[in-house]
Structure 1
Amino acid sequence: MTNGQEIQGGPNTVLRVIIEHMIYPITLEILHVIFQRFGKVLKIVTFTKNSSFQALIQYPDTQSAQAAKQALDGQNIYNSCCTLRIDYSKMSSLNVKYNNDKSRDFTNPNLPSGDTENQLAALSGGLGTTLGTDLTLLLATQPRLTRERLAAGAPGVLSNPFIPGITSPLASPYAGGVAGGIPALGGFALGQTAPGLRGLTNPNIQLATVLLVSNLNEEMVTPDALFTLFGVYGDVQRVKILYNKKDSALVQLAEPQQAHLAITHMDKLKVFGKHIRVMLSKHQSVQLPKEGQPDAGLTKDYSQSPLHRFKKPGSKNYQNIYPPSATLHLSNIPATVEEEDIKEAFTKNGFTVKAFKFFPKDRKMALIQLPSMDEAVAALIKMHNYQLSESNHLRVSFSKSSI
């Protein structure tokens, strides 16, 4: 490896890290906490490219980089979000010119802080030509995620896990264990504010679990339909369709990050022909109607439902959360049920099946493709928990791949 180039496919001391589904802000300090578990981290450079947050992380040897890549690639920093995608950089070393919230040379604490516009100069070994001029523009115009912007509710910052009452970084929101986050990586003490994220002034917003859902198709929507649809992204506790405004509803989830995940994937989603709006509600919980109050079955409690996807700590469902798509993932299919049986079940419920495929290594699972995302959303609502046999109910979620 010379001149910042890497032998194609070979391990390197520099890792390139992309964070997907970044619902919580990820800082350079958090990356350092995670990656230093696999060896001494020498340098980190962070930047935004193609609307995704990325980092270059340098170790002193390829063994440490290899161990980090093997252990962390595909893992979530927090439950069901902030997924790490890791490969080897084309650079053999980083030349960091500034120590600030975007770049850090841990071997040289005396570097000046510089500014964001000079960030491109913090890189060497051909990165400028590798990433192109779009990075120069991004780095020059990207607003820095300052404490003040966070405190003011910066656009796009949906939640911050580093406040009392939620969880410590890299830990499960469910008491007693890690569920879907990276196990045993430690971090800050529970309730301690992470470096660079002090000053959040309204914890109620951060802890919100109740969503206001509006522009619903009131002819079609029911509490059960909302329970099933929002249940893709979190454990729905209660649903209330508003008695005097039936195109709006309150949906209460078990955890704040589940509420934010639902907003990320479902705001402006087309459901039963209408683009719904999903936002945090000012309500702290969904109240059940008092005795004698008119309700007409519009409020339902699902806290004891057996259909929650994420109640079990460590559930593999955390690793299979994807945006809505025209292709659905089917599971819990009994061996006695054939392709034609499943197609017929969808067809008789009014859905057009465009393609179908069993998983080659596991016939309990399959992919089914519908003509559009709208139809797939409706099919998920209708077909999740559909009874396939005496003891088997179909499980339906969105798929990351198409057939």
Structure 2
Amino acid sequence: MLRAKNQALIQMQDTPAAVSALQFYGNVQPAIRGRNVYVQFSSHQELTTMYQNAQGRGDEPNRILLVTIHHMLYPITVEVLHQVFFPHGFVEKIVTFQKSAGFQALIQYQSRQSAVAARTALQGRNIYDGCCQLDIQFSNLDELQVNYNNERSRDFTNPNLPSEQKGRSPQPGYGDAGGVYGLQGTGARAVGFPQMANAAAIAAAFGGGLPPGISGTNDRCTVLVSNLNPDKIDEDKLFNLFSIYGNIVRIKLLRNKPDHALVQMGDGFQSELAVHFLKGAILFGKRLEVNFSKHPNITQGADTHEYMNSNLNRFNRNAAKNYRYCCSPTKMIHLSSLPQEVTEEEIVNHLEEIGTIVNTKLFEMNGKKQALVLFETEEQATEALVCKHATSLGGSIIRISFSQLQGI
């Protein structure tokens, strides 16, 4: 495919077949997807694939695989590739890069047998449903050189490698790791990593990479929250806080430890976001401890509050958009779903009991009223969110989240 010229080269089995094809289309106007195409002889006598003249050797087994990803709707990182390929053997190194064929990766296994098993199991499969299809060839390289451990390359045998500085080419000789490249998929079966689909969604929302410290591979859904203020906290307030990072299934306050609670998130990725962004946050005068629980889920009972079917869960629709706003608590909150006739004075009156409001800004986006409110401290903004999210203002149930803006 010569994509820059909107052209393609096709090699027939022999010259008579090529002549026959050209004669046929001399009488019939060919069209592809409604566009007329034109056929003529090429000056090339034979085509060689990029795998033959570059890094691929086709079907000759090797412990290094060359992987091309087609129909790439979500960003693919080293962590995602490792999650896909490590079940088939020990992965020593991964390098990703951009080529004319699209987004590619070199996967080096410890043994040739592992590479063969991975290719047999994964060739033609999709990483996610309906997209990110794997096209796997054996590479002709004998050893990968990895200089940096980051989201584009990784040496799993040498965790002490530095991370790459911005602007530098990740792995000279393999290609440039650039933007994603989309190609029409073929509807192959998905490999099946449901928690990774959310990782991909937030990676896309964050411009192609997960936030620092987020792996996207956690599978523990339940979070243990400790050092709560038992006199002021309840399940709904915890819901308001944790629902910023994912859908809430159920919450349980521990009777024998009144400053402890269990929060079950929709999946392991969402719980990882909550642990990452809320650890150390201050709420009602207490610095929260947020960790993964040893319990895989919370058993339903009289002392649990159910939120699975709550229409207040934020991630039921357009999850990628909501992931974009995930952050640690800030001094500023964002209000939406406001009544059209609301005033700044009404917003201040609704929130000022929580703490000192430094500034407010009421504005309209896509025909809907929204507002920014800056508090004196992060703690006050956090308390405003947990106490006032999903409350009624002027007959509307308002939505509150943290804003990453530094000022109004």
Cα contact 1:180–1:318 (8 A) shared by 2: yes
Does residue 309 of structure 2 align to residue 309 of structure 1?
A: no
The more displaced of 314-323 and 267-276 is: 314-323
Aligned partner of 1:397 in structure 2 is 401
Aligned partner of 1:167 in structure 2 is 194
From the superposition, tell whether residues 335 and 271 of structure 1 become closer, same or farther in structure 2 (CA, over 3 Å): same
Aligned partner of 1:155 in structure 2 is none
Q: Which residue identity does 2:339 align to in structure 1?
A: P
Identify which of 334, 345, 360 aligns with 1:356. 360
Does residue 377 of structure 2 align to residue 372 of structure 1?
A: yes
Cα contact 1:234–1:254 (8 A) shared by 2: yes
Aligned partner of 1:261 in structure 2 is 273
Cα contact 1:23–1:261 (8 A) shared by 2: no
Q: CA deviation at 1:35?
A: 5.2
From the superposition, tell whether residues 116 and 244 of structure 1 become closer, same or farther in structure 2 (CA, over 3 Å): same
Q: CA deviation at 1:320?
A: 2.4
Aligned partner of 2:253 in structure 1 is 241
Report how many residues are paired.
Answer: 250
Cα contact 1:346–1:352 (8 A) shared by 2: no
Cα contact 1:166–1:207 (8 A) shared by 2: no
Aligned partner of 1:385 in structure 2 is 390
Q: CA deviation at 1:276?
A: 0.9
Identity %: 30
State the SS of the aligned residue for 1:320.
Answer: coil
State the SS of the aligned residue for 2:317.
Answer: coil
How far apart are the structure 2 equivalents of 1:23 and 1:233?
21
From the superposition, tell whether residues 164 and 378 of structure 1 become closer, same or farther in structure 2 (CA, over 3 Å): farther
Q: CA deviation at 1:242?
A: 0.5
Aligned partner of 2:236 in structure 1 is 224
Q: CA deviation at 1:167?
A: 2.1
TM-score (norm: length of structure 2): 0.52
Q: CA deviation at 1:319?
A: 2.6
How far apart are the structure 2 equivalents of 1:168 and 1:305?
21
Q: CA deviation at 1:206?
A: 3.8
Q: CA deviation at 1:233?
A: 0.6
From the superposition, tell whether residues 319 and 115 of structure 1 become closer, same or farther in structure 2 (CA, over 3 Å): closer
Aligned partner of 1:25 in structure 2 is 79
Aligned partner of 2:289 in structure 1 is 277
Q: Which residue identity does 1:351 align to in structure 2?
A: G
**How does 1:104-115 map onto structure 2 within 5 Å?**
110=141, 112-114=143-145
How far apart are the structure 2 equivalents of 1:266 and 1:219?
20
TM-score (norm: length of structure 1): 0.53
Does residue 347 of structure 2 align to residue 342 of structure 1?
A: yes
RMSD: 4.2
**1:75-101 residue CA offsets vs partner (Å, 9 max, x unmatched):** xx99xxxxxxxxxxxxxxxxxxxxxxx
Aligned partner of 2:211 in structure 1 is none
Cα contact 2:78–2:95 (8 A) shared by 1: no
Aligned partner of 1:325 in structure 2 is 330
How far apart are the structure 2 equivalents of 1:23 and 1:41?
11
Cα contact 2:250–2:308 (8 A) shared by 1: yes
From the superposition, tell whether residues 139 and 312 of structure 1 become closer, same or farther in structure 2 (CA, over 3 Å): closer
Does residue 219 of structure 2 align to residue 207 of structure 1?
A: yes
Q: Which residue identity does 1:371 align to in structure 2?
A: E
Q: Which residue identity does 2:341 align to in structure 1?
A: T
Q: Which residue identity does 1:267 align to in structure 2?
A: K
Aligned partner of 1:100 in structure 2 is none
Aligned partner of 2:111 in structure 1 is none
How far apart are the structure 2 equivalents of 1:311 and 1:281?
24
State the SS of the aligned residue for 1:232.
Answer: coil
Structure whose residues are more often strand by fraction = 2
State the SS of the aligned residue for 1:354.
Answer: strand
From the superposition, tell whether residues 313 and 279 of structure 1 become closer, same or farther in structure 2 (CA, over 3 Å): same
Return the index of the structure with the highest Cα Rg: 2
From the superposition, tell whether residues 337 and 24 of structure 1 become closer, same or farther in structure 2 (CA, over 3 Å): farther
**1:124-170 residue CA offsets vs partner (Å, 9 max, x unmatched):** xxxxxxxxxxxx96679xxxxxxxxxxxxxxxxxxxxxx9864285x
Q: For structure 2, which runs of at least 5 residues remain unmatched after alignment?
A: 1-75, 85-93, 107-126, 129-136, 154-160, 166-189, 206-216
Aligned partner of 1:50 in structure 2 is none
Q: Which residue identity does 2:405 align to in structure 1?
A: S
How far apart are the structure 2 equivalents of 1:275 and 1:33?
40
State the SS of the aligned residue for 1:262.
Answer: helix
From the superposition, tell whether residues 27 and 365 of structure 1 become closer, same or farther in structure 2 (CA, over 3 Å): same
From the superposition, tell whether residues 35 and 379 of structure 1 become closer, same or farther in structure 2 (CA, over 3 Å): farther
Q: Which residue identity does 2:307 align to in structure 1?
A: Y
How far apart are the structure 1 equivalents of 2:224 and 2:247?
16
How far apart are the structure 2 equivalents of 1:246 and 1:32?
49
Q: CA deviation at 1:289?
A: 2.8
